[in-house]
A and B are shown apart, each in its own frame.
Chain A
Amino acid sequence: MVEMDPLSQFHLQSGLGTLGRIIDFTNSNQMMVIAALIVTTVMGIGLRRAAIVPGRMQGLAELSYEFVHNMVIDTIGEEGKRFFPFVFTLFSFILVGNLLGLFPYFFAFTSHIAITGALAFFVFLLSLIVGFWHHGFRFFKFFAPSGVPAWLLPLLIPIEIVSFLSRPVSLSVRLFANITAGHVMWEVFAGFMLMLVSSLGALGVVAALIPLGLNIALTALEFLVAFLQAYVFAILTCLYLHDSIHLH
């Protein structure tokens, strides 16, 4: 029988050889640094020569800039321009992290809830700070929707508070669960192939074509998910900031 452990791909190891072992630099940290470097390099090369007719790199940089810029303006409004650098950083970092995780033997750092949780917590903290910055203590009106009879407030305020606190949870769990589930499915189907071949011989090789096809289809889906989850994370960040500025 073939040994199979679909979760072993998420184990943290030390990156950068001996040096990494000494300073507890993990393969997850390594991928994060690489992702940040890729984003910075692509934007740096793309914007080095501001040609009127953009080349590929400049086109990539400008398209991603415009995409996030439109998203921020559409969701938050004109005030949202200030948060563009934050949202863009978040979006590009998560997107590149998701895409890097799709390479075989690469570590998908967005598959760890510690990382998505930290990102979501920063978003939550920022939306809280922005809310208090804009409205002071009137921000607490956020938890008491207008036009509600007073006798309902004792029930509604806890519901609103729980709903508000659940934001970072759902934000982080969504990204983490999607990436983890996709990678586990990949490995499970790949394990099926090995099992079929080792137990059924020549017939198994033919039968293994089915999980192989599934894995190929899954690869396409994972590319979609990698983009989609980065997009959802970014647009929800925008939505939360919008709520903090406009109070619903």
Chain B
Amino acid sequence: MGIWVKRAMKQDDSAQHDDTVASFDKRLETARLKAGLVAKPKSDRDRSPDDNPLTMAMRLGSEMVGALAIAVVIGYGLDRLLDTAPWFMIGLVPIGAAAGILNVFRAAGSSRPNTKPKD
């Protein structure tokens, strides 16, 4: 609140000095800049759902289960197709679990764009 009052007073001061068209453009420019600055922290706050632990937990869970489910489906399908039950399933379930863990690692890493360059 204090910043707002100070900014408004500053603007009033400069407005008293020169009241020409040029200064109006300048004031419009600063007002636009200010609007941009005001809008920015708001959009940052809007982005915070990504750090919401509930979302993160839900996301990580489905990433893990999704990979495992796909591996089981592929394994089961190949076994039915090639009549090799249960070998493809046995081979693919560990791979699916590994893919699930990989997904979780990726999701946890990519949840914060700032730390992304690490991997």
Binding site for B on A (CB under 8 A): 66-67, 70-71, 74-75, 155, 158-160, 162-163, 165-167, 169-170, 173-174, 177-178, 227-228, 231-232, 235, 239, 248
The CB with the most chain B CB atoms within 10 A, among A70, A74, A155, A165, is that of: A165
Instruction: Give how many B residues have a beta carbon under 8 Å from the other chain's beta carbons.
Output: 32
Contact, CB under 8 Å: B99 / A167: no
Interface membership of B43, Cβ < 8 A: yes
Interface membership of B23, Cβ < 8 A: no
If A66-B43, A235-B50 touch, whether A162 touches B95 (CB-CB below 8 Å) is: yes
Interface membership of B7, Cβ < 8 A: no
Contact, CB under 8 Å: B70 / A227: no
If A75-B113, A162-B96 touch, whether A170 touches B65 (CB-CB below 8 Å) is: yes
Partner of B66, one of A160, A167, A248: A167
Partner of A228, one of B49, B99, B110: B49
If A170-B65, A235-B50 touch, whether A158 touches B58 (CB-CB below 8 Å) is: no
If A74-B113, A75-B113, A228-B49 touch, whether A170 touches B43 (CB-CB below 8 Å) is: no
Interface membership of B89, Cβ < 8 A: no
If A166-B70, A169-B69, A227-B49 touch, whether A159 touches B43 (CB-CB below 8 Å) is: no
